DNA sequence: GTAAAACTTTCAGGATCTGCAATATTTCAG
DNA sequence: CTGAAATATTGCAGATCCTGAAAGTTTTAC
């Protein structure tokens, strides 16, 4: 994929400051804890004003959380482009594997991020969580794929939420194991348990 | 159950102010939106200082979220007291039904709360969410029941997260339907889909 | 080269949230 | 009933969070 090319100088600089702010936020909070770092600290580390920080992120926490909605559209595309005869849960698994590869590509950053989440539990509710724009988008795509009106059966909402839970558990296990196993394998494991109806192991 | 008895005057008053603060927060935010209500507004409505508000809740949002960890212990008891041969997912379903009854018993308050959540999506990530003390406790109970070391297989984490997702979806459907259906039925539906492995409908 | 568009900064200010010390209330023992 | 001990409430100072508006700076595009 194209990632850093095809951008004017302006957008390149914007992307740079954004990632610099994210990186600074992560490393500082990893060192001193969420409460031990102020927005001004983060901004100074990147040599911008704290007002500029808030031009990029609506809150200190948001600088730690990562892409989120940015990739929502891309995720949905993955769902859409799968053949219609692929079952919903299988489609969600494949989508999650793609996302897992993205995570693996930024291995160190994600491991650091997950460590920060573990050390600051108040962040956990926002890990791969419900109620986001991302979830809404995926739910809509699932509904389309299953041929269901949104808000009638609850199936798209549940399938999506369960898939996100599977992905979240895989991420946490991955982090707990020091990033040693393949994240994609852990994702597969979780989806296999889901598809089997979560029988007693 | 005993709920309001067996408390000294002091604790009774504390409980009163707490519930009064919750109620005021909910009604005010339902009227004016999250951003349109300050902590001082809420405190004044109950005739206490805003400092006192923060003695009860760590943040404005927390006054809206409801019991949460309060009932964690009780939920786990429900899990523990079920016979050991009840499968995990079935046990989680039964536990969720108990919780559903609690919600039904405070029907109006919960419908209002859910409306507030819908109207202020930034609250949604904290609805029945992961990363809480409650989830940790349930996960531990599930692990005990399944005879699994925590953090080895990921099964307890996933089963718990999926159950919470099922409950959350049921709540949202219940709210969207104006509280008309039986919440317990929606919970059963969601768990049935989970137990079946989320097949295409 | 210049004008428009977009980004950063400064500044003012309201709101959130936390210690701390003072005050008021409740409890409980005598 | 009364006086201490325990506990809750309050006011206050202060750090931090976050936002709008206006001014200044850089980038873009013609």
Contact check, Cβ <8 Å, A195/B195:
no
Look-up of token digits 């930034």: B122
The alpha carbon torsion through B146, B147, B149, B153 (nearest 10 deg) reads -50
Q: Is the pLDDT of residue A79 over 60?
A: yes
Q: What pLDDT is stored for residue B76 in this prediction?
A: 94
Q: Is the pLDDT of residue B106 over 80?
A: yes
Binding-face residues of A in 80-119 toward B, CB within 8 A: 87-89
Q: What pLDDT is stored for residue A38 in this prediction?
A: 98
B76: three-class secondary structure by DSSP: helix
Rounded Cα distance, B138 and A11, in Å: 46
The C-alpha angle A31, A35, A37, rounded to 5 degrees, equals 55
Average pLDDT value over all residues in chain A: 93
User: pLDDT, tens digit, for every residue of A156-196?
Assistant: 999 999 999 999 999 999 999 999 999 999 999 999 999 99
Tokens found for residue A159? 């399938």
In B 21-80, which Cβ lie closer than 7 Å to strand C? 37-40, 51, 54, 58-61
Rounded Cα distance, A153 and B192, in Å: 13
What is the CATH code for B66-195? 1.10.357.10
Cβ–Cβ contact A201 with B under 8 A? yes
- Residues contacting residue B36 through CB under 8 Å, at least 6 positions apart: B29
Q: Name every chain A residue with its beta carbon within 8 A of the beta carbon of B87.
A: 199-200
Average pLDDT value over all residues in chain B: 93
Q: What pLDDT is stored for residue B3 in this prediction?
A: 39
What is the CATH code for A9-63? 1.10.10.60
Q: What pLDDT is stored for residue B2 in this prediction?
A: 37
Q: Is the CB of B27 under 7 A from strand D?
A: no
pLDDT band (50, 70, 90) for residue A9: confident
Domain boundaries, chain B: 9-64, 66-195
pLDDT band (50, 70, 90) for residue B72: confident
8 Å CB contact between A138 and A72: yes
Of A120, A122, A16, A132, give the one whose Cα is nearest residue A71. A132
Give me the helices (H) in A47-179, please.
Answer: 50-56, 62-65, 72-81, 88-105, 107-119, 133-146, 155-176
Lowest pLDDT segment from A44-48, A109-113, A190-194, B131-135: B131-135
Q: What pLDDT is stored for residue A7 in this prediction?
A: 65
User: pLDDT, tens digit, for every residue of A110-161?
Assistant: 999 999 999 999 999 999 988 788 999 999 999 999 999 998 999 999 999 9
Which CATH fold topology does B9-64 show? Arc Repressor Mutant, subunit A (1.10.10)
């Amino acid at each position: 994929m194209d990632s850093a090319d095809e951008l004017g100088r302006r957008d390149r600089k914007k992307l740079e400051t954004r990632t610099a702010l994210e990186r600074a936020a992560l490393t500082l909070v990893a060192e001193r804890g969420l409460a031990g770092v102020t927005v001004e600290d983060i901004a100074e580390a990147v040599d911008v004003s704290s007002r500029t920080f808030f031009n990029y992120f609506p809150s200190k926490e948001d600088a730690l959380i990562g892409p989120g909605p940015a990739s929502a559209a891309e995720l949905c595309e993955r769902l859409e482009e799968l053949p219609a005869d692929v079952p919903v849960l299988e489609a969600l698994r494949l989508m999650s594997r793609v996302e897992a590869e993205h995570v693996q590509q930024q291995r160190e950053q994600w491991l650091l991020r997950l460590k920060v989440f573990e050390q600051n539990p108040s962040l956990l509710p926002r890990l791969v969580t419900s109620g986001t724009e991302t979830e809404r988008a995926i739910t809509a795509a699932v509904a389309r794929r299953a041929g269901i009106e949104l808000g009638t059966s609850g199936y798209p909402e549940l399938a999506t939420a369960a898939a996100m839970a599977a992905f979240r558990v895989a991420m946490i296990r991955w982090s707990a194991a020091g990033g040693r196993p393949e994240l994609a394998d852990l994702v597969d494991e979780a989806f296999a348990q889901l598809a089997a109806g979560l029988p007693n192991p």
